[in-house]
Each structure stands twice: as structure tokens, then as C-alpha cells.
Amino acid sequence: MEPTTSSLPHAPLPAYYRDEADHARYVRRIFDETAVDYDRIERAMAFGSGGWYRREALARAGLAAGDKVVDVGIGTGLLARQACDLIGEQGRLIGVDPSPGMLAQVDLPGVELRAGRAEELPCVTGEADFLSFGYAFRHVSDVDAALREFHRVLRPGGRLLILEISQPSSRLSRTLVKFYMRRVVPTLARLVARERGSAELWRYYWDTIETCIPPAQILQAMERAGFQQVQRHTELGVFSEYTAVRP
């Protein structure tokens, strides 16, 4: 059964896919095709600051040495790399992603990779002390199903961190961010990418940000899934850190 409109992370985008089944296929294809370019474009887009920010966000969310982490939507491993440094040799990290192309780009010794979707994680109940989900919330097919899975996979007392890009509150800031994400970043992608689809990926990236459900609804969905201490922290008015604890 397809999720209802309220459980979708954003409105359907017919410029990219026809229906929700086609949406899942589109997301997997575009990430498979552009995986070899992803890290290069991300570094150019964030001016090399992405790794520092990810590490700070993980520390703010309470990631500690020795933790067992499930990183959902691991992609090429940008967030997982910082997590591995924080958990150290006594910790363990499992990376989950539906894109074989992205998983093939992960170069992190000791990390266990599993193919899977956020809505149906290939993990046992209570397997994780900490679950991270970096910049992939907008790509799920069912917000409530994904959050229920996160709740299931975390042990009691386990911590959740969802990183996302949100629209700024002011009209001027929204206009500037939209111009940067919709015009500048795809241009950078065309300049540095090997694959033609990379510019399309970053246009799609902004379109999902622009149509994503608002932060208040994300927080409500986290509470519906059974999480407590649900909070949102923002950096620069754009970078949202959603945190919670599984009771």
C-alpha cells in the first residue's frame, strides 16, 4: 500500500517521476549514476567545511566512544567517516543504503555495509546505541514507517540524529539559498562531475528541500513513532539537526 500524502516527506515531483513506486526507482537510479561524483561536488558546494560540521553535529547529539552506530543512508560515507573517528576502535558502525553505486564508494575499513531502505532496515531490534540519518530524510517513501524502524533498531536509551537542510525562515534568505542550490551548485556539478546526471541530482536536491514538510511536522512524526526528548537545533538557519531518545 502506498503511503498517504501526510506520510510523504515532500509533495510528488512529476518533473522527475510519475508515482511513488517510480520515485523509489528514480532515487536509486540517480544516486547509482552519480555516486562517483558525489564527494567531489559536496566538497565544492560546502567549501570543504562539511566534515567539520558533521562531526560537530554528531558530538552535539551525544555520539560517544564505543557506541554501536547504524548509519542509514550512508551514501559514500561522509557522515560515517566522522562517526568512526568519534566512536573509536571499540565502537562499531553499520552502514545501510539502497544504492549499490553509493555503497561501492564507501572506503571505511571495519564498517559493515548492508543494502536496505529506511522503511525496512536490515537490522535486528535494539541493535544500535545511536542511529544517524544524514541528508536523506527527503528521499524516503514513508516518513512514519522510516521513523518506526529507527525506533525499533535503537536500544532503550539509544539516540537518534537526523540531519537535513531546511528552508530559511526569511524570504531573502530563502531566495539566496534557492539561487545557490538551484543555479550555482548544478553549475559546479557540471564543471567537476564525470557523470551528466550529477547536475540533475543537485537540482532535484533543492526541489525536495523546497517542497519538504516543515520542521514542526517532522518533530510530530518523531513523537508519533514513540521518541522522547524530541528537539531541533539549527545552524546558519539552514542546517537542521533533529534529535531524540528511544525510551
pLDDT higher than threshold 70 for residue 67: yes
Residues 75 and 132: beta-carbon distance below 8 Å: no
Q: What pLDDT does 80 receive? A: 98
- The C-alpha atoms of residue 152 and residue 168 are separated, in whole angstroms, by 32
Residues 132 and 83: beta-carbon distance below 8 Å: yes
Set of cell numbers at residue 167: 528552508
- The C-alpha atoms of residue 30 and residue 34 are separated, in whole angstroms, by 6
The count of C-alpha atoms lying within 13 angstroms of the C-alpha of 116, restricted to the half-sphere facing its C-beta, is 19
Q: What pLDDT does 47 receive? A: 56
Residue 240 pairs in a beta bridge with 164, 234
Give the model's confidence band at 1: pLDDT under 50 very low, under 70 low, under 90 confident, else very high. Answer: very low
Report the candidate in 151, 69, 139 with the shortest Cα–Cα distance to residue 108.
69
% residues pLDDT > 70 (the chain)? 94
* Contacting residues for 3 by C-beta, under 8 A, at least 6 apart: 20, 141, 142, 143, 144, 145
Measure CA of the first residue to CA of the last residue in the chain; give whole Å: 29
Q: What pLDDT does 179 receive? A: 85
Other beta carbons less than 10 A from residue 52's beta carbon: 11
Give the pLDDT confidence of 7-43 residue by residue, as tens digits. Answer: 999 988 999 999 988 999 999 999 999 899 888 888 7
The count of C-alpha atoms lying within 13 angstroms of the C-alpha of 27, restricted to the half-sphere facing its C-beta, is 21
Give the pLDDT confidence of 178-235 residue by residue, as tens digits. Answer: 888 878 877 877 776 666 778 888 888 889 999 999 999 999 999 999 999 999 999 9
Q: What is the pTM of this model?
A: 0.92
pLDDT higher than threshold 60 for residue 163: yes
